[in-house]
Chains A and B, each alone.
Chain A
Amino acid sequence: MKATVWAGRDRVKVTTVPDPSIMNARDAIVRVTTTAICGSDLHLYHGYIPAMRKGDILGHEFVGEVVEVGPQVRDLRPGDRVVVPFPIACGRCSSCRRGLYSVCENSNPNAGLAEKIMGHSPAGIFGYSHLLGGYAGGQAEYVRVPFADVGPVKVPDEVPDDQAVLLADVFPTGFMGAEMCDITPGDVVAVWGAGPVGLFAAASARLLGAERVIVIDRYPYRLRLAREHIGAETIDYEDTDVRDALTELTAGRGPDACIDAVGLEGHHGNAALYAYDRAKQAVRAETERPFALRQAILACRSGGVVSVVGAYGGFVDKFPMGAFMNRSLVMRTGQCHVQRYTRPLLDRIRRGEIDPSFVVSHRMPLKDAAKGYRIFQKKQDDCTKVLLKV
């Protein structure tokens, strides 16, 4: 089959690899029909996530048709159309039982490695490095789906691929970012990052009843999406001082909740500050560029919530712990427990509360994956989200 593989830093290629087969009794094989490139795939692309090997199949957002199931999979049969959550979760361990699927205790066969770096291991993830399991990803014609009796959700015919594929990661991740804010009437929610996750966090904050939603980015085309599809107010940090603007917009209170949807490869309007963290990252003295996180902590109203759904991999420098502690802030975070959200969000789509496909800017065949990564990385051609058609 054809698959998108990592070929070294800033290089992916579509190549022929063996077809997948059932390895565990609870596996299913899915013929992928639509798959997407995620912002977090760019962290792999840039080589910021350790334990990648050349030849690793990428991709953790995909929908497709079940073609084969293992003997222990009872709820799926060949022909079912499914969307598959990106965290691989067994559904039986204590974490899964508590709904914390992205920290499944069993799905990372390389847990020993992850423990050395993170203390305990999170769940395995499709196509996301050997640190997180060494699973083949879904930017391919076929993919093996472990624990297929837990993750995949059947998609009804009236929901097209372009909507359903967003339920694998970005929509649930954004939604969880908003949900963690415990939004109550009157709340002002600020979102750093207007990529798909940030846009969905903003849209979800609206769905959950936020009074006002403010989105911060530097790409005018993305900020336009936030205004036009979500009704958010926007701040372009290239031409506006973000903290001044937020103080002004909230009459000095600060946002009740701040969502970091940027993560480890942040950008800063101040060239000197950007250069400081970029340089430390280049020599691996820190692994992240946490501008959005620092700013979110300083901007948040006292006693407010800082919700982090942007991806981090290692250590951050200059974490404003003094502000965080003295102003009674709360931080909530986590890789999304997608299995918790796929069905409810699918229902919201079917009820017409939201059409998530507004984030999709590009559709191209799988064979053009390398081009898709390139324009997404360089934000060319107003790129927000690339879908690969198989």
Chain B
Amino acid sequence: MDETDPILLDQRAAGGAALPRLLGVVSLALGAGGLLAPRAVARLTGVDDSPAALAVIPAVGARELAHAAGLLAGRRPAGWAWTRVAGDALDLALLVRARADRRGERCRRVGRTTAVVAGLAAVDLFAAVRAGRARAAHRRAIDVEVAVTVNRSPAEAYRFWRDLENLPRFMAHLESVRVEDVRRSHWTARGPAGRPVSWAAEIVDDRPNRSLAWRSMPGTRVPSAGRVRFVPAPGDRGTEVRVRLRYAPPAGALGRAVAKLFGEEPEQQVRDDLRRFKQVMETGEVVRSEGSPDGTSLRQQAAQRPAQPLPAARR
């Protein structure tokens, strides 16, 4: 499974770089104007009566070119959107002072310029905030790829997985999956405070005995996707089961709840899921010990109970 798997849409792209790039084009135009035709710009904005304007306007233009470079060529255009916001604040301050000194037509021109700059500032602020959120969402996102070899045929492994209601038997974060029809299903995860988190999902790619991909329905609160591939292991070694899981937890309390499902080490947790999958496929069920009565789990390994039988009340 590579980055370009068309089924597992890159959820990072949403709210990404398109708007900052557009603002970069605006900066480029303003910068070029300020540097190449400062007199025309001074007339247009109503400050052509000030000798200082011919020094200030090219400086503003140079600054805009720097913004443009960052927004158009930089690796993180979102960060540059904030420099535009700062530039807007400076320009607005200059314009407010310029308007106080002027009367008549020049005063009206300065006013119009102020309105345009204020509008651009609002767009800049929006872009910067949105890009910041997208970055935070990217940090929250869980994207894990793990594999295990199972001593079963690809067909057997596929059949078990294709019945999505089996998933909670080995995926620790899931409480239940209810299959609604051939494609659609309803997933419920264990919330940390005992409050379940639910979403609807659909199978988006089904290649019997080879691979299966699923994705949350558009608009659900917990964007998620996954693909599992069943590849015959070389020789007589069973099946290589390769899984990619993606969760894009939303901002806020729900997102924190989803992130908590996977804990500090999501990869380790998915690895444990696959270990349990292997146990269920090969031995029939999840293997339990007195120290790990709920079976393989990272959290349980860290907090083992003594290796002696459970009290009757806890069975």
Chain A residues with CB under 8 Å of chain B are: 3, 5, 17-21, 23-26, 51, 53-57, 72, 90, 92-94, 97, 105-107, 109-113, 124, 127, 130, 133-137, 144, 146-147
With a CB–CB cut-off of 8 A, which chain B residues contact A130?
A: 291-292, 301, 304, 307
List B266-291 residues whose CB lies under 8 Å from chain A.
Answer: 268, 271-272, 275, 278-279, 282-285, 287-291
Once the chains bind, are A106 and B289 in contact (CB under 8 Å)?
no
| Distance in angstroms between the alpha carbons of A127 and B309 in the assembled complex | 12
Q: Provide the B215-247 mask, 1 if CB < 8 A to any CB of A, else 0.
A: 000000000000000000000011000000000
B114 at the A/B interface (Cβ < 8 Å)? no
| Distance in angstroms between the alpha carbons of A53 and B278 in the assembled complex | 28
List B292-309 residues whose CB lies under 8 Å from chain A.
Answer: 292-293, 295-296, 298, 300-301, 304-309
| Distance in angstroms between the alpha carbons of A97 and B236 in the assembled complex | 11
With a CB–CB cut-off of 8 A, which chain A residues contact B282?
A: 90, 92-93, 105-106
Once the chains bind, are B304 and A106 in contact (CB under 8 Å)?
no
Residue of B278, B284, B291, B312 touching A105 (CB-CB under 8 A): B278
Once the chains bind, are A18 and B311 in contact (CB under 8 Å)?
yes
> Nearest chain A CB to B100's CB is how many angstroms away?
69
A18-B308, A21-B315 known; A134 and B290 CB under 8 Å? yes
Q: Provide the B147-158 mask, 1 if CB < 8 A to any CB of A, else 0.
A: 001010000000
Of chain B, the residue at the smallest CB distance from A129 is B307
| Distance in angstroms between the alpha carbons of A30 and B294 in the assembled complex | 22
List B93-145 residues whose CB lies under 8 Å from chain A.
Answer: none
B310 at the A/B interface (Cβ < 8 Å)? yes
A18-B312, A21-B315, A97-B151 known; A56 and B306 CB under 8 Å? yes
List B254-273 residues whose CB lies under 8 Å from chain A.
Answer: 268, 271-272
Once the chains bind, are B301 and A112 in contact (CB under 8 Å)?
yes
Once the chains bind, are A53 and B290 in contact (CB under 8 Å)?
no
With a CB–CB cut-off of 8 A, which chain A residues contact B301?
A: 110, 112-113, 130
Of chain B, the residue at the smallest CB distance from A22 is B315
With a CB–CB cut-off of 8 A, which chain A residues contact B309?
A: 17-21, 136, 144
Once the chains bind, are A112 and B291 in contact (CB under 8 Å)?
no
Once the chains bind, are B285 and A25 in contact (CB under 8 Å)?
yes
With a CB–CB cut-off of 8 A, which chain B residues contact A54?
A: 306
With a CB–CB cut-off of 8 A, which chain A residues contact B149?
A: 94
With a CB–CB cut-off of 8 A, which chain A residues contact B311?
A: 18
How many residues belonging to B are interface residues under a CB distance threshold of 8 Å?
36
A106-B287, A136-B290, A136-B309 known; A53 and B296 CB under 8 Å? no
Most chain A CB neighbours (cut-off 10 Å) among B275, B279, B289, B295: B289
| Distance in angstroms between the alpha carbons of A147 and B284 in the assembled complex | 11
Once the chains bind, are A134 and B291 in contact (CB under 8 Å)?
yes
With a CB–CB cut-off of 8 A, which chain A residues contact B275?
A: 111-112
Once the chains bind, are B307 and A106 in contact (CB under 8 Å)?
no
Once the chains bind, are A112 and B308 in contact (CB under 8 Å)?
no
| Closest 3 A/B residue pairs (Cβ) | A134-B291, A55-B306, A109-B292
With a CB–CB cut-off of 8 A, which chain A residues contact B283?
A: 26, 90, 92-93, 106, 147
Residue of A5, A17, A105, A124 touching B289 (CB-CB under 8 A): A124
| Distance in angstroms between the alpha carbons of A322 and B266 in the assembled complex | 43
With a CB–CB cut-off of 8 A, which chain B residues contact A136?
A: 289-290, 307-309
Once the chains bind, are A133 and B308 in contact (CB under 8 Å)?
no
| Distance in angstroms between the alpha carbons of A25 and B280 in the assembled complex | 12
With a CB–CB cut-off of 8 A, which chain A residues contact B271?
A: 112
With a CB–CB cut-off of 8 A, which chain B residues contact A25?
A: 284-285
Once the chains bind, are B151 and A3 in contact (CB under 8 Å)?
no
Once the chains bind, are A24 and B285 in contact (CB under 8 Å)?
yes
Once the chains bind, are A106 and B279 in contact (CB under 8 Å)?
yes
Most chain A CB neighbours (cut-off 10 Å) among B275, B287, B292, B312: B287
With a CB–CB cut-off of 8 A, which chain B residues contact A106?
A: 278-279, 282-283, 287
| Distance in angstroms between the alpha carbons of A135 and B315 in the assembled complex | 16
| Distance in angstroms between the alpha carbons of A378 and B271 in the assembled complex | 44
Once the chains bind, are A94 and B237 in contact (CB under 8 Å)?
yes
| Distance in angstroms between the alpha carbons of A72 and B310 in the assembled complex | 22
| Distance in angstroms between the alpha carbons of A195 and B310 in the assembled complex | 35
Of chain A, the residue at the smallest CB distance from B148 is A105
Once the chains bind, are B292 and A133 in contact (CB under 8 Å)?
yes
A94-B237, A133-B289, A134-B291 known; A109 and B296 CB under 8 Å? yes
Most chain B CB neighbours (cut-off 10 Å) among A17, A53, A56, A130: A130
| Distance in angstroms between the alpha carbons of A94 and B272 in the assembled complex | 19
> Nearest chain B CB to A16's CB is how many angstroms away?
10
Once the chains bind, are A134 and B298 in contact (CB under 8 Å)?
no
> Nearest chain A CB to B265's CB is how many angstroms away?
10
With a CB–CB cut-off of 8 A, which chain B residues contact A3?
A: 308
| Distance in angstroms between the alpha carbons of A54 and B291 in the assembled complex | 12
Residue of A5, A57, A72, A109 touching B284 (CB-CB under 8 A): A72
Once the chains bind, are B151 and A94 in contact (CB under 8 Å)?
yes
Of chain A, the residue at the smallest CB distance from B293 is A23
Residue of B237, B287, B306 touching A146 (CB-CB under 8 A): B287
Once the chains bind, are A26 and B307 in contact (CB under 8 Å)?
no
